[in-house]
Structure 1
Amino acid sequence: MGKTYDVRIWSVRQRKDRGQSSAELRWKTGETPHSQTFRTKTLAEGRRAELLRAAHAGEPFDESTGVPVSELRKRNDVSWYQHAREYIEMKWQHSPGSTRRTLAEAMATVTPALVTNTKGMADAKTVRTALYSWAFNMSRRDQELPDDVAAVLAWFERKSLPTSALADRMHVRAALDALTKKLDGTTASASTIRRKRAIFHNALGYAVDAGRLTDNPLPQVQWKAPEQVAEELDPASVPDPRQALALLDAVRTQSPRGRRLVAFFGCMYYAAARPAEVIGLRLQDCDLPRRGWGTLRLRETRPRSGSAWTDSGEAHDRRGLKHRPRRAVRTVPIPPDLVSLLRWHVTAYGVAPDGRLFRTQRGGLIQDTGYGEVWAEARRRALTPAQCASPLAKRPYDLRHAAVSTWLSSGVEPQEVAARAGHSVAVLFRVYAKCLDGGTATANARIERALRSGN
């Protein structure tokens, strides 16, 4: 049942039950009858007057409960802090660890902006820790709070605005302004703002579902995010094929740990695989012929979410491909160079009991801190001091960018590149715009030929 303006309210009638008198108020919303019994007629008449005022004012009634919508909203209302916790709890069960962290971060960003006043509020870092790591982390809800965290959360319980107050668009605007800032006060990236805004919008929608707001106020707010730099890949960060091979060689020769990881980095460079996808890669998902091209079937990722955010208590989550259905598989053809590298790796190190190709010397999952240290050392060995100080191949992820850039500059169709890289064509054009059509020199040559043809 929903809202209705069809309301009929009858006169109060006296009743006697077992020698005791009472007064009954009867009314009807839509086709649903309601009644309420009072000890005295005066109380019943008072309630009848309240219902009549709401009906005469043109206020909608909730058909199932029979009360004015505004009254029902007050009954259901809780503080924004409490609502945010309930929202996180609602999303928790069906969200992977990385999404749980993202939800908590968004709620921890907007909640300090939705308070009656800031008197007595702790510093920003302390507030963020208390909200992000404790209030909005359902894994810790049964743990004893440290004294400083308990004090911060008690403050929010007292100072948080009622959720119904967000019907005032100025409060919504304040929250939107808050999510544009990082903890240090600088402007967040465009993707971060979009992500947090989407979560905030969803949390407000949940408030509508819970009867705390009549509608979602966010779309009605005339608000524009700060101007952002286009989210294009910086070509200066992408190693060319010669540099990429030198970096892989520097990984191979630096230490036993490096030799175990050279094929790991090779999957990023030759197959444009994400690190979390390579961590989850199993031998049974690889076709590695003795000659010619092979194939990787990427079907699982092992992103590092932190043990505090996963159901298993392990640092790495286990999930399907990014932005794809759980059982989706991405097939990536791989060149003979990577086929040989993977065959060598399997011969040298074998595989884990579950078939995973890559593991630490102790058999555990590859850690980002570990392969990050190896990569940093490889940069020092393979690059000049000036290149080391530049963005060139700053992160292992830049090997994936190098792969996509190489495919595009080689003339591979964007649709095929997007399919192999595992994202949409729209993302490909937005992020790799400067790599399309083979770069500036090729574009200039084409324009020059066109100009000459007109002479």
Structure 2
Amino acid sequence: MTEWSYTVRIWSIRKRPYRKPFQLRWRVGTRPHSESFLTSGLAESRRAQLITATRAGEPFDVDSGLPKSMVQKALDISWYQHARNYIEMKWDHSPATTRRNLAEAMATVTLALVKDTKGMADHRIVRRALYSWAFNANQWNEEPPDDVKAILAWVERKSLPTSALSDRLLVRKALDACARRLDGKATAGTVIARKRAIFHQSLSLAVDAELLTENPIPSVRWKAPEKVEEEIDPECVPAPEQAAALLAAVRGQGARGRHLEAFFGVIYYAACRPGETVGLKLADCELPRRGWGLLRLRESRARSGTAWTDSGEAHDQRGLKHRSRKAVRYVPIPPELVALLRWHITRFGAAPDGRLFRTARGGMVQESGYGEEWARARADALSPSEYASKLAKRPYDLRHAAVSTWLSSGVEPQLVAERAGHSVAVLFRVYAKFLKGGDEAANAKISARLRGHGSHPS
């Protein structure tokens, strides 16, 4: 660990009969230091630097004898290299989807932090090279194509030093890049927030590496052009009768639809995320002939792409979101879903590894496949005006429908959060509008209670 001291004494330059005759001597704390020069001008220049640092109140490194500004300059690296160091630090402990997001954010910021664009290839090609090669640690042991190699060499040559990020205007420039798409239009609010958070964390690493004295982002007065809407829009959420009609419409789509009816049913009745549903296994289902059943959710198999997973498979096998790898979430399921799953198992069985849902060849269910079936089901089940709206636009809206149904049924928010795999804070923030929807019922209960004790004014 670096030891700093403000106790510095600098002596006059002395001349000695050596090859470098002019010697500068100084002391930091109790540690003596010296440096020899060929000319008196060079020696005087270094002495002036040290004196200026002491007058500015800079601490000196006891081991090297240099002021903090000079130590940082010696340690400084390009932003491009720092971004790669950040990716390396995060890689092993990040799921594949997060890795992809990290690469996307670093590619965006790095292109904004170059000295100039002279000799730069097409913007899209450079972004692709950064995203697919420079910031994808899975590719670092592979030899990139010659054109990619040339692009990355240009970026490394043109990249600004990391210490330059102490300039707030430069930080603002990088944040502006996070808010724009390649076509110049504003990026979605959630994407801006995600990129800003990743950029902020990478600058915190720069502080830890002593490349910056502080993280400049909190001091920059910058506002994203697109607001992040965390609350679920009720217009997207189907009512129970609409959800039932959509599931029936999925069943009417032929063989693949009949297979996927239970898939969508798990999302709706158990509030499962699609990735959790893809990984659901027969052994984790309790399906009695009567009454409620139980699902034990252990993992998520979100599709991230073969380039980002350690296994080389398109679906990343991870634990539950924001939970430890061995965590299990227990979700009681109503008789409607129990019957649906029992029929599905009788009709389709399970894959060799126990998965309930699979493609015709036994592979993982793909978003593109079940997305097509869902789009056709919406067209069949919804009216023209409903179909043109945001209602149940994504299968994920079934999960929102489940949570909102539980809340409107009077289930305690703590229990809803536990079953949905949320924290209570996230539940209140994301489903605030549905919680507010219970005001009338709550008011009626309070009024009845007050009347029962004769406290209502006459």
Q: TM-score, normalised by structure 1?
A: 0.88
- 1:431 CA displacement: 2.2
- 1:13 CA displacement: 8.1
Instruction: Label 1:454 to 1:143 Cα distance change in 2 as closer, same or farther (>3 A).
Output: farther
Instruction: Label 1:387 to 1:445 Cα distance change in 2 as closer, same or farther (>3 A).
Output: farther
- 1:36 CA displacement: 5.2
> Quick one: which amino acid aligns to residue 377 of structure 1?
R
Cross-structure match for 2:8: 7
Output aligned runs, 1:121-132, within 5 Å.
121-132=120-131
Q: Structure 1 vs Structure 2: percent identity of aligned residues? A: 65
Deviating more after overlay: 318-327 vs 223-232? 223-232
Number of aligned residues: 451
Instruction: Label 1:64 to 1:326 Cα distance change in 2 as closer, same or farther (>3 A).
Output: farther
Question: For residues 240-284 of structure 1, what are the alpha-carbon distances to aligned partners after superposition, in whole Å with 9 as ceiling and x for unaligned?
Answer: 111211221222232222222221111100000000111122222
Secondary structure at the counterpart of residue 307 of structure 1: coil
Question: For residues 57-93 of structure 1, what are the alpha-carbon distances to aligned partners after superposition, in whole Å with 9 as ceiling and x for unaligned?
Answer: 4221123433221112111212212221222122222
- 1:231 CA displacement: 2.7
Output aligned runs, 1:58-69, within 5 Å.
58-69=57-68
Question: For residues 79-136 of structure 1, what are the alpha-carbon distances to aligned partners after superposition, in whole Å with 9 as ceiling and x for unaligned?
Answer: 2122212221222222221111111111122222222234454454333322222221
Output aligned runs, 1:232-311, within 5 Å.
232-311=231-310
> Within 1, Cα distance between the matches of 2:341 and 2:393?
24
> Quick one: which amino acid aligns to residue 353 of structure 1?
P
- 1:309 CA displacement: 0.8
> Within 1, Cα distance between the matches of 2:85 and 2:218?
22
Cross-structure match for 1:363: 362
> Within 2, Cα distance between the matches of 1:368 and 1:345?
20
> Quick one: which amino acid aligns to residue 6 of structure 2?
Y
Cross-structure match for 2:136: 137
> Within 2, Cα distance between the matches of 1:121 and 1:86?
23
> Within 2, Cα distance between the matches of 1:260 and 1:92?
36
Instruction: Label 1:27 to 1:382 Cα distance change in 2 as closer, same or farther (>3 A).
Output: same
Judge conservation of contact 2:33–2:65 (CA < 8 Å) in 1: no
Cross-structure match for 2:205: 206
Instruction: Label 1:246 to 1:96 Cα distance change in 2 as closer, same or farther (>3 A).
Output: same
> Within 1, Cα distance between the matches of 2:119 and 2:438?
55
Structure 2 portions without partners, runs of 5+: none
> Within 1, Cα distance between the matches of 2:344 and 2:365?
15
> Within 2, Cα distance between the matches of 1:171 and 1:148?
29
- 1:447 CA displacement: 11
Judge conservation of contact 1:27–1:35 (CA < 8 Å) in 2: yes
Judge conservation of contact 1:29–1:61 (CA < 8 Å) in 2: yes
Output aligned runs, 1:429-444, within 5 Å.
429-438=428-437
- 1:330 CA displacement: 1.5
Instruction: Label 1:29 to 1:245 Cα distance change in 2 as closer, same or farther (>3 A).
Output: same
Question: For residues 176-230 of structure 1, what are the alpha-carbon distances to aligned partners after superposition, in whole Å with 9 as ceiling and x for unaligned?
Answer: 2221223333333333333222211111122122232122222222333336264
Judge conservation of contact 1:121–1:155 (CA < 8 Å) in 2: yes
> Within 1, Cα distance between the matches of 2:430 and 2:20?
76
Judge conservation of contact 1:295–1:332 (CA < 8 Å) in 2: yes
> Within 2, Cα distance between the matches of 1:79 and 1:403?
49
Instruction: Label 1:64 to 1:313 Cα distance change in 2 as closer, same or farther (>3 A).
Output: farther
> Within 2, Cα distance between the matches of 1:9 and 1:352?
77
Question: For residues 39-71 of structure 1, what are the alpha-carbon distances to aligned partners after superposition, in whole Å with 9 as ceiling and x for unaligned?
Answer: 869577765554344334422112343322111
Structure 1 portions without partners, runs of 5+: none
> Quick one: which amino acid aligns to residue 412 of structure 2?
E
Instruction: Label 1:2 to 1:136 Cα distance change in 2 as closer, same or farther (>3 A).
Output: same
Instruction: Label 1:14 to 1:280 Cα distance change in 2 as closer, same or farther (>3 A).
Output: farther
Instruction: Label 1:449 to 1:150 Cα distance change in 2 as closer, same or farther (>3 A).
Output: farther
Q: TM-score, normalised by structure 2?
A: 0.87
Cross-structure match for 2:416: 417
- 1:308 CA displacement: 0.6
> Within 1, Cα distance between the matches of 2:318 and 2:26?
53
Judge conservation of contact 2:282–2:354 (CA < 8 Å) in 1: yes
CA RMSD of aligned residues (A): 3.2
> Within 2, Cα distance between the matches of 1:219 and 1:176?
12
